[in-house]
């Protein structure tokens, strides 16, 4: 089962409220990381205890297998054999279905006699897919986890939730990595109660969502790598979906895009992680703005406001990355080696502070609560609450009709904002860029309901115009920092950067004019 039920009839509100736990072969699980003090607090938290709980943890040793070329890892598939004391070993296959939520995984288990995996036991499509991935390559033990697990079964409203407290280490050769995690798995009952319970926990305990599985984290340890930034998954909505299902799918896709970049920000300085997190939040805001015109749900605007607050808070780090890039790719290669060192030193200090603040924000409660609240909102189909019976019936219609109207409106707005584009001041060019961005996101969301080639051509033309205006906006944003007082050498370098990009702007408008003409001539694919 997944976080969403695309075929749930829009008019059947009761069905949404009674949505039950995963069917066999699927698990819905939330994983949280904790520090040492937070782990102890969670173990003793009244919300996570029941009278009569026995806290003797089980020792679990899990060996993970893959081909020598890591074919399973590349397909987000994990194969492990786990043993605990004298009980029979259990072989488990886990995978992340392409069309499903970040927190929904496929899972099949078999008891085995030895610690060597026997993949012939996996039947049906999952087994066939696994054997196709492996081919004739051998399976080798890549790493293992050694953990002490304390498990508690909790009643959370009408849901039954298993809480697993894991403390131990990942072992890959001579490398070791400590881990402390809390996993919540929905065993039965509605997802609405599951998410409500998780949100309640995250509001009183230092729980931080973690989208990286044990297998993925272990592979990073074994390979000496770190989580990498994740770009938006442009999974165009099928024209067969109704509007109700489309709303759910878009919200979860953008939420998962946001979440998928947390690990990279936590563990690396890759500037793409911050950028992709802000892209995800902008895509979510654009989608909710489109949906609220057809579905007058106050929570859409509330989530838009929370997304904007987060994106703005992450903005300082992104601005530093953009400015550094303007220096590195602009005048720096054409001047002496150390000409921009004083300016870059000032910028790096500001960037380090901005990234420290971004990481502090990520470890605060709000990002985790925001993601959980979105999941709960989708699970209960919260947008239905404000609708009349007639409005509910409108959610059952094909998404293509809604998309045509929404894209036509966004297209007209972008054309209007771009009139006499090259003569517009910076603030009006910025408004045009935002209009193009919203149009592009909408086109990407709904292109699957129309002709694919025509949609691709239109999206390409829109993205090109947006990117040209984005480059202009980057320079305008950088001017504020570059105009601030610095020491003499840094000030001189800042003046060079400003002059360099002012000269670039003289030729950029000619390019912008041609690009805008290409956008105006791009045929709308929804008509």
Tokens of 500: 């360099």
Residue 477 lies inside a defined structural domain of this protein: yes
Question: Does 271 fall in a domain?
Answer: no
Which of 181, 198, 225 is a domain's end point? 225
Q: For the chain, give the percent of residues with pLDDT over 70.
A: 93
Examine residue 364 and state whether it is found in any structural domain, yes or no: no
Q: How far is Cα 19 from Cα 375, in angstroms, rounded to an integer?
A: 13
**In a domain? residue 273:** no
In a domain, 303, yes or no: no
Dihedral angle over CA of 311, 312, 318, 323, nearest 10: 150
DSSP string computed for 55-66: --PEEEEEEEEE
Instruction: Say if residues 310 and 281 touch (Cβ distance below 8 Å).
Output: yes
- Below-70 pLDDT ranges, the chain: 1-25, 51-54, 99-100, 235-236, 485
| pTM for this prediction | 0.90
Q: Which of 180, 210, 225 finishes a domain?
A: 225
Beta bridge partners, 112, equal 89
Residue 242 lies in a domain: no
Residues 462-500 as b or e (16 or more Cβ within 10 Å = b): bbbbbebbebbbbbbbbbebbeeebeebbbebbebbbeb
Strands 26-33 and 175-188: antiparallel
Q: What is the pLDDT of residues 431-452, one digit of tens each?
A: 999 999 999 999 999 999 998 8
Q: 341 and 210 share a domain? A: no
Q: Tell me if residue 228 falls in helix, strand or coil.
A: coil
Q: What is the C-alpha R_g of the chain?
A: 26
Q: What is the pLDDT of residue 53?
A: 64
**How many Cβ atoms from other residues are within 10 Å of residue 456's Cβ?**
13
- What angle do helix axes 452-482 and 426-446 make, rounded to 10 degrees? 150
Same domain for 208 and 69, yes or no, is yes
Residue 23 has phi, psi (to 5 degrees) of: -75, 170
| Residues 32 and 160 occupy one common structural domain | yes
In whole angstroms, give the CA distance from residue 359 to residue 266.
6
Output helix, strand, coil percentages for the chain, rounded to the nearest 5: 55, 15, 25
What pLDDT is recorded for position 482?
A: 79
| Structural domain containing residue 46 | 1-225
Number of domains within the chain: 2
Is residue 205, in this structure, part of any structural domain at all?
yes
CATH number at residue 44: 2.40.320.10
Which residues neighbour 12 within 8 Å (Cβ) at sequence distance 6 or greater? none
* In-domain check, residue 436: yes
Query: 349 and 221, same structural domain?
Result: no
pLDDT tens per residue across span 345-367: 999 999 999 999 999 999 999 99
Helices 399-417 and 426-446 cross at an angle (nearest 10°) of 160
- The region that residue 157 occupies, defined by phi over 0 for left and psi between -120 and 50 for alpha, beta otherwise, is left
Domain boundary among 193, 225, 257: 225
Q: Are 232 and 352 in contact (CB under 8 A)?
A: no
H or E stretch covering 322? helix 298-329
350, 221: one domain: no
Both tokens assigned to 36: 């040492």
Q: Are 243 and 399 in contact (CB under 8 A)?
A: yes
Residue 348: other Cβ atoms inside 10 A: 12
Angle at 297 between CA 296 and CA 300, to 5 degrees: 120
């Amino acid at each position: 089962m997944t976080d969403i039920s695309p075929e749930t009839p829009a008019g059947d509100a009761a069905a949404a409220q009674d949505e039950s736990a995963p069917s066999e072969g699927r698990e819905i699980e939330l994983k949280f990381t904790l520090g040492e003090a937070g782990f102890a607090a969670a173990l003793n938290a009244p919300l996570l205890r029941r009278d009569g709980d026995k806290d003797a943890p089980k020792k679990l040793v899990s060996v993970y297998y893959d081909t020598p070329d890591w074919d399973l890892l590349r397909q987000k598939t994990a194969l492990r054999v786990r043993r605990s004391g004298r009980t029979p070993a259990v072989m488990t296959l886990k995978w992340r279905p392409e069309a499903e939520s970040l927190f929904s995984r496929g899972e099949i288990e078999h008891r085995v006699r030895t610690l060597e995996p026997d993949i012939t036991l996996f039947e049906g499509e999952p087994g066939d897919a696994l054997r196709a991935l492996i081919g004739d390559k051998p399976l080798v033990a890549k790493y293992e986890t050694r953990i002490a697990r304390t498990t508690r079964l909790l009643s959370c409203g009408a849901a039954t939730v298993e809480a697993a407290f894991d403390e131990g280490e990942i072992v890959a050769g001579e490398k070791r990595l400590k881990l402390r995690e809390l996993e919540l798995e929905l065993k039965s009952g509605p997802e609405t109660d599951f998410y409500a319970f998780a949100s309640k926990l995250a509001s009183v305990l230092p729980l931080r969502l973690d989208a990286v599985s044990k297998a993925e984290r272990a592979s990073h340890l074994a390979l000496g790598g770190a989580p990498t930034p994740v770009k938006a998954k442009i999974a165009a909505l099928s024209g067969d979906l109704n509007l109700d299902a489309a709303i759910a799918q878009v919200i979860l896709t953008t939420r998962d895009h946001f979440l998928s970049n947390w690990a990279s920000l936590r563990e690396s300085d890759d500037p793409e992680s911050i950028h992709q997190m802000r892209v995800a939040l902008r895509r979510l805001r654009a989608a909710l703005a489109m949906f609220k015109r057809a579905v007058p749900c106050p929570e859409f605007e509330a989530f838009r406001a929370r997304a904007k607050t987060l994106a703005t808070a992450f903005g300082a780090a992104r601005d530093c990355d953009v400015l550094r890039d303007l220096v590195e790719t602009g005048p720096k290669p054409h001047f002496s080696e150390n000409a921009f060192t004083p300016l870059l030193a000032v910028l790096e200090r500001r960037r380090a502070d901005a990234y420290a603040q971004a990481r502090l924000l990520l470890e605060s409660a709000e990002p985790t609560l925001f993601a959980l609240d979105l999941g709960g909102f989708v699970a209960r189909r919260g947008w239905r609450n404000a609708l009349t019976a007639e409005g509910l019936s409108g959610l059952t219609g094909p998404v293509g009709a809604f998309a045509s109207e929404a894209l036509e409106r966004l297209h007209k707005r972008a054309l209007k904002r771009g009139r006499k584009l090259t003569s517009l001041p910076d603030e009006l060019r910025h408004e045009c860029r935002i209009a193009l961005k919203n149009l592009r996101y909408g086109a990407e969301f709904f292109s699957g309901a129309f002709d694919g080639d025509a949609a691709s051509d239109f999206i390409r033309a829109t993205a090109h115009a947006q990117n040209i205006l984005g480059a202009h906006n980057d320079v305008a944003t950088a001017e504020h920092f570059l105009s601030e007082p610095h020491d003499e050498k840094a000030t001189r370098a800042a003046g060079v950067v400003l002059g360099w990009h002012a000269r670039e702007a003289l030729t950029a408008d000619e390019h912008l004019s041609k690009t805008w003409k290409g956008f105006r001539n791009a045929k709308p694919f929804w008509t």
